[in-house]
Amino acid sequence: MSVTAIDQILAFVRERYPQAEIDASQDIFALGFVNSLFAMELVMFVEKTFEVTIPNEELRIDNFRTADTMATLVARLAPDAAAA
Amino acid sequence: MTVIGVIGAGVMGVGVAQNLAATGHDVVLVDKDERTLADALATIRHNTRMSRLMGGPALDPDEVLSRITTAVGAAGAAKADLVIENVTENWDVKREVYETLDAECGPGTVFVVNTSAIPITKVGAVTGRPDRVIGVHFMNPVPAKPVVELIPGFHTSQETIERTEALLSAMGKKAVRVKDSSGFVSNRVLMLTVNEAAYLVHEGVADAASVDEVFRGCFGHPMGPLETADLIGVDTILYSVEVLYEHYADSKYRPCPLLKQMTDAGLHGRKSGRGFYTYDSN
């Protein structure tokens, strides 16, 4: 799994929620201040940044809970993008 | 009921059309130009794709879109059995739409006014069918919000109330009935709260993130008032506050100058990419 993909995802989350101390394994939806609209922004960020189209069946909140799970999803969909 | 007309393909109209189509209704979605309608269909495709992620049902975008046709101009809803109108909260715009609908639609067609502030009785009065005009205040995002305010006007008939309740129930909505009064329950309170929150930012008492954090952290609200303003649309907030101000002639509804400036500057919230916060455009 790519450190780069995790870093890019973490940077995006931290930019939107600078008050939160978030690491790659933390469930960002369990922190209490992220709502489901942010999940949609995460999907768009991941699709744009890693140039992937996430299939409908993968659009589940469990795939977006942590930077780790998002990077795993990216690695599954586009191994090259995740490793870049 | 065979066809539901949805007038206005903005944030609310798109949500209503998606909700109707996703619950098996045939919809004709109407706006002033083709471009707006094309954008609306793209938004519905996007939103249905995201439905499960947002806590809703898993939806097939192609199936939902197959139930929606589009038309330019209010006359496009002429054959609808029931029309849900979602145009901007501006009386002159709404009046013109209702004059057209009243002339074009059959005498039995029910007109549902989706408004957050305009009195239903006033809308009924510009039509020849005030018994078939009723208000429903949908919340945003429409498919995700299970409760609406249902507002019969002065002349609204029992039959119209029952037809509307049946449709709402089929859409998965619970209706809370309130009397016809500008702003109803929700916006009498919400718009003043958002307006006062904007004053706090305008006066430099707190920035938007701090205002919202107080509401989330101290009161347990899922979203603060300024995030909510960005979701609803800063321009829509301004128009709603102006409608309350005009209707009650009470200075407590005076709109915050910051809302006016943001509206003029195009900082309309999520839909424009920037409001009290900045959003990644898609």
CATH topology of domain B3-177: Rossmann fold (3.40.50)
Q: What is the pLDDT along chain B (282 residues), one digit of tens a residue?
A: 589 999 999 999 999 999 999 999 999 999 999 999 999 999 999 999 999 888 888 999 999 999 999 999 999 999 999 999 999 888 899 999 999 999 999 999 999 999 877 899 999 999 999 999 999 999 988 999 999 999 999 999 999 999 999 999 999 999 999 999 988 999 999 999 999 999 999 999 999 999 999 999 999 998 999 999 999 899 999 998 998 999 899 999 999 999 999 999 999 999 899 999 998 754
Q: Which residues contact A67 (CB under 8 A, 6 or more apart)?
A: A6, A9, A10, A13, A22, A23, A24, A25, A26
In whole angstroms, give the CA distance from residue B269 to residue B262. 9
**CB-CB neighbors (< 8 A) of B52 in chain A:** 59-60
CB-nearest to B50 from A33, A35, A59 is A59
A74: pLDDT confidence band, cut at 50, 70 and 90? very high
**Would you say domain B187-272 falls under CATH 1.10.1040.10?**
yes
**Residue B192 identity:** L
Which chain B residue's Cα is nearest to A35?
B222
CA distance A59 to chain B (A): 6
B53 to chain A, any CB pair closer than 8 A? The answer is yes
> Phi/psi at B182 (nearest 5 deg)?
-50, 125
| ipTM of the shown complex | 0.76
> What is the reported pLDDT for B77?
96
Where would I find the beta strands (DSSP E) of B115-234?
A: 133-137, 147-152, 174-177
Q: Where are the domains of chain B?
A: 3-177, 187-272
A29: pLDDT confidence band, cut at 50, 70 and 90? confident
Give me the percent of chain A exceeding a pLDDT of 90: 44
Q: Which residues contact B141 (CB under 8 A, 6 or more apart)?
A: B15, B47, B54
Q: In this complex, do B54 and A60 lie within 8 Å of one another by their Cβ atoms?
A: no
> What is the reported pLDDT for B117?
75
Over chain A, what is the mean pLDDT?
84
Q: Is the pLDDT of residue A83 over 90?
A: no
CA distance A1 to chain B (A): 24
> What is the reported pLDDT for B282?
47
Longest Cα pair distance anywhere in chain B, in angstroms?
A: 54
| Residue among B85, B104, B149, B242 flagged as catalytic | B149
> What is the reported pLDDT for A53?
92
Q: Which residues contact B214 (CB under 8 A, 6 or more apart)?
A: B206, B224
CA distance B74 to chain A (A): 32
Asked about B282 being catalytic, the answer comes back as no
β B110-113/B133-137 pair status: parallel
Domain limits at A45?
Answer: 3-83
B280 to chain A, any CB pair closer than 8 A? The answer is yes
Q: Is the pLDDT of residue A43 over 60?
A: yes
Give the distance, in angstroms, between the CA of residue B90 and the centroid of all CA atoms in the same chain: 12
Q: Output the CA torsion sign for B16, B22, B26, B31.
A: positive
> What is the reported pLDDT for B111?
98
> What is the reported pLDDT for A33?
64
Please give the tally of structural domains in chain A.
Answer: 1
DSSP state of B63: H
| Residue among B114, B137, B182, B240 flagged as catalytic | B137
Q: In this complex, do B49 and A41 lie within 8 Å of one another by their Cβ atoms?
A: no
Tell me which residue has tokens 């002639």. Answer: B249
**CB-CB neighbors (< 8 A) of A55 in chain B:** none
Q: Is the pLDDT of residue A1 over 80?
A: no
A2: pLDDT confidence band, cut at 50, 70 and 90? low
**Any idea what the Cα angle at residue A61 is, between residues A59 and A66, rounded to 5°?**
115
CATH of the domain at A29: 1.10.1200.10
> What is the reported pLDDT for B14?
97
Q: Do B75 and B100 form a contact (C-beta atoms < 8 A)? A: yes
> Phi/psi at A64 (nearest 5 deg)?
-120, 10
pTM above 0.90, yes or no: no
Asked about B51 being catalytic, the answer comes back as no
Q: Hey, how many other C-beta atoms are within 10 angstroms of the C-beta on B160?
A: 22
CA distance B273 to chain A (A): 12
Asked about B114 being catalytic, the answer comes back as no
B213 to chain A, any CB pair closer than 8 A? The answer is yes
Q: Provide the token pair at B156.
A: 């609204």
Nearest C-alpha neighbor of B107 from the set B69, B152, B67, B157 = B157
Higher pLDDT, A34 or B77: B77
Upstream peptide bond of B61 is cis (omega within 30 degrees of 0): no
CB-nearest to A39 from B53, B217, B279 is B53
Please state, in angstroms and as integers, the Cα–Cα distance from residue B234 to each residue in A25, B41, B188, B264, following that order.
36, 23, 17, 10
CB pairs under 8 A between A and B: 43
